[in-house]
Chain A
Amino acid sequence: TQLLEQSPQFLSIQEGENLTVYCNSSSVFSSLQWYRQEPGEGPVLLVTVVTGGEVKKLKRLTFQFGDARKDSSLHITAAQPGDTGLYLCAYDRGSTLGRLYFGRGTQLTVWP
């Protein structure tokens, strides 16, 4: 059972467009993490959101954690080809083990 639902699964856009991808669940999380994974590489952590309603910005990327801490979104302004990759959201259960549970990801392709 996939606890984290990510949408859309695929997104193909032109350079300069804006986009939003979503990470939804019916469960409440203490935090959510966003990763980007490029082809042939491992995921790289972009941000961790912790507080309900929190907004974090990383250059052209804006991350928001839902007020109820059940969902999160990633908005990219003026997308560039370098933003191409698989965007994954993930959570841990807050245990001492630290294992991560990932969604299926959104595969973003930005065309020049």
Chain B
Amino acid sequence: DTGVSQDPRHKITKRGQNVTFRCDPISEHNRLYWYRQTLGQGPEFLTYFQNEAQLEKSRLLSDRFSAERPKGSFSTLEIQRTEQGDSAMYLCASSLEPANNEQFFGPGTRLTVL
């Protein structure tokens, strides 16, 4: 088991461009979470999947953000029309049932919007 992986690790883009990040969770984990972390802050919850179903979305997830987990395995997070305020570390985590099981975090994708 190689743990949670995220790709790319770093992304630099110009304002207004679209970006997509990928998360591969630990293979048998049915729960997948996306968090965002800005400088000097702890991670903030964005959205959660149980298998392929997106069960919760934070108010932080504006209309420009969309996440999918089409086959209940890997997940993608897309940001359309990026803004400088989107610059952050985007973290993915996965876990098993039940809800209080440990969440294993990936290394994150650091997004810089110029």
- Interface pair A98/B31, CB less than 8 Å apart: yes
User: Which of A42, A102, A105 lies in contact with B108, CB distance below 8 A?
Assistant: A42
Known pairs A92-B99, A92-B100, A99-B33; A42 contacts B4 (CB<8 A): yes
A40 shortest CB reach to chain B, Å = 7
Count of B interface residues, CB-CB < 8 Å: 29
- Interface pair B42/A45, CB less than 8 Å apart: no
Known pairs A90-B42, A96-B99, A99-B33; A41 contacts B108 (CB<8 A): yes
B114 shortest CB reach to chain A, Å = 20
Could you say which interface size class chain A belongs to? 20 to 34
Q: List, in ascending order, chain A residues with CB within 8 A of B101's CB.
A: 98
Is B103 interfacial (CB 8 A cutoff)? yes
User: Which of B40, B100, B103 lies in contact with A94, CB distance below 8 A?
Assistant: B100
Is A97 interfacial (CB 8 A cutoff)? yes
B92 shortest CB reach to chain A, Å = 8
- Interface pair A100/B103, CB less than 8 Å apart: yes
Return the chain A residue nearest B103 by Cβ: A100
Return the chain B residue nearest A43 by Cβ: B105
User: Which of A31, A42, A98, A104 lies in contact with B105, CB distance below 8 A?
Assistant: A42
User: Which of A40, A92, A102 lies in contact with B44, CB distance below 8 A?
Assistant: A102
B47 shortest CB reach to chain A, Å = 9
Q: List, in ascending order, chain A residues with CB within 8 A of B91's CB.
A: 42-43
25 contacts between A and B (CB under 8 A): A31-B100, A42-B4, A42-B92, A42-B107, A43-B43, A48-B102, A88-B42, A92-B100, A95-B99, A97-B48, A97-B55, A97-B56, A98-B31, A98-B33, A98-B98, A98-B103, A99-B45, A100-B33, A100-B35, A100-B45, A101-B45, A102-B43, A104-B40, A104-B42, A105-B42
